Amino acid sequence: MVGMGSFSLLGRLAALLALVTLAACADHSVVHRGRVARPALMAPPKPRVMPSSESFRMCAARLDAAQVRYMPLPNEDKGGGCRIVDAIKLMDFGTPTANLGAMTCPLAATFAAWARNAVVPAARVYLGTEVVRIETFGTYACRDVRGAGGTIAGKLSEHAHANAVDVSAFVLADGRRVSVQGDWRVDGPTSEFLHRIHDSACKRFPTVLSPDYNAAHHDHFHLDMGGKGGFCR
């Protein structure tokens, strides 16, 4: 038979257990609140510096006069000597073109003029059709020059300054695709077309490299605005 003392003892134990549980909850709440991380103080973002040089304004005026659509890009120091300064992104100049990223304004203006006034007319003459798409390997890349034996360490490519574009192929309205790799050395109109626009590029860009230059350029034309001009291979 359980006496009244036993019930009293059980009651006290239950009350004690309840107090311990409440204390644990309270401690957990305090610890949890103590662990709430305060937001880290973020450094204010650097202001975006847009192209504003006199040479850029003159180049942009050329694009406007030619009714070329473009978007100015902020100047960026990428580190390691790589940078994007006075650059734009071409939006529309008449022929859709793949993989065009940041380009210095002079490069973009020269490329658009070459496409309009050399590539498109040459396709009509030599191939009897329209160019509906130009394919490229891109523009900006923070890297060194690539020579016949590989990368030349310590000598930055014009790509590292968004001052070069590599053109690989042309898609035609009749479905054909003329590539530098596949058509440069064959006999026939596709090769004549490629050699014609290469020669035209040499009159516009200071530096033009083709598959005839070295193995690193077996599949594209490298067009850039660096150097003193007249380097056509």
Domain 54-232 has CATH 3.30.1380: yes
pTM above 0.85, yes or no: no
109 close to 73: Cβ distance less than 8 angstroms: no
What string of pLDDT tens digits covers the 233 residues of the chain?
Answer: 444 444 455 455 455 555 445 444 444 443 344 455 555 566 666 667 898 899 999 999 999 999 999 999 999 999 999 999 999 999 999 999 999 999 999 999 999 999 999 999 999 999 999 999 999 999 999 999 876 555 666 789 999 999 999 999 999 999 999 999 999 999 999 999 999 999 999 999 999 999 999 999 999 999 999 988 889 99
3-class SS string, the chain = CCCHHHHHHHHHHHHHHHHHHHHHHHHHHHHHHHCCCCCCCCCCCCCCCCCCCHHHHHHHHHHHHCCCEEEECCCEEEECCEEECCEEEEEECCCCECCCCCEEHHHHHHHHHHHHHHHHHHHHHHHCCCEEEEEEEECCCCCEEEECCEEEEEEECHHHHCCEEEEEEEEECCCCEEEHHHHCCCCCHHHHHHHHHHHHHHCCCCEEECCCCCHHHCCCEEEECCCCCCEEC
- For the chain, give every domain's residue range: 54-232
